Amino acid sequence: MTTDVPQQEIASEAVRPAQRVSLREQVADELQRLIVGGAIAAGAALPSEAQLGETFHCSRSVVREALRDVEQRGLVVRAENGRALIVQPASLDTVSRAVHIYMELGQVTFAELFESLELLDPVASALAAERGDGATLDALRALNEPARLTLANLVEVEVAFHLRLAQASGNRLFVAAWKPILDALAIANAEVAPLMGTPALTGTRRAHDEVIRAVAAHDAAAAAAWSRRHCAAFRRGLDLLGRSARDPVRPLQ
């Protein structure tokens, strides 16, 4: 004996429409899977377009478009001969470039950048104080040496110093999230440092000294407190340029 089971209607807003994935996307996604999974090792060249066409049973034009996508994703770079595509190792610079493109296209403002800085840098400093070792201290001290920290390379050393604090956490995902913010901050610093001159240098060295002292003492609270004081200086630097925190993060000209 059977009974009719009533059909249930599905609200249209609950349904995601079926999507047609192009051959180009399928090939690009599969190449990404092979690269990320290690089937194609970092440093190795991808097979030729003809070979990939045979492998994926598609035309060379489809392969060429897919390879362009894979290159844009930062998974491969062109060899010096301009033809071969080489698989890139994991790179913080690749992450940073992708985030920076997003920031420019999305008109991310200095207010958003500074807020991220003020949230993350104290965490990085506190974790460095909790987890940092002798190698961390040696690296931080070397970066703060007068011969290394000069007005000419202040921007570069600032990025390296704060990135080293994050690396002391041992959390690679945190470092990957932090690096693009530091690189974006360098845009503002590159304009502010020459205007401030020696005070920018002495203030940075003092803040770094205090953070290093806190890290050496494993004093997470003091490290975070000095980080917050240091971060506040970046906002003041933007004021010197007569620019608004609502302005997008771009080279200040």
Q: Spell out the domains of the chain, with CATH numbers in brackets.
A: 20-87 (1.10.10.10), 93-240 (1.20.120.530)
Work out the pLDDT band at 252, boundaries 50, 70, 90: very low
pLDDT of residue 156: 92
Check pLDDT > 50 for residue 84: yes
pLDDT of residue 133: 94
Check pLDDT > 70 for residue 3: no
Work out the pLDDT band at 97, boundaries 50, 70, 90: confident
Residues 126 and 210: their CA atoms lie apart, in Å, by 13
Mean pLDDT, range 175-180, rounded to an integer:
89
Residues 165 and 224: their CA atoms lie apart, in Å, by 11
Residues 120 and 127: their CA atoms lie apart, in Å, by 11
Q: Cβ(28)–Cβ(70) under 8 Å?
A: yes
Q: What is the pLDDT of residues 198-225, one digit of tens each?
A: 888 898 999 999 999 999 999 999 999 9
Check pLDDT > 90 for residue 196: no
Q: Cβ(112)–Cβ(247) under 8 Å?
A: no
- Write down how long the chain is: 253
Q: Between 126 and 2, whose confidence is greater?
A: 126
Work out the pLDDT band at 74, boundaries 50, 70, 90: confident
pLDDT of residue 13: 59
pLDDT of residue 9: 60
With 0-12 CB in 10 A as exposed, 13-18 as middle and 19+ as buried, what is 173? exposed
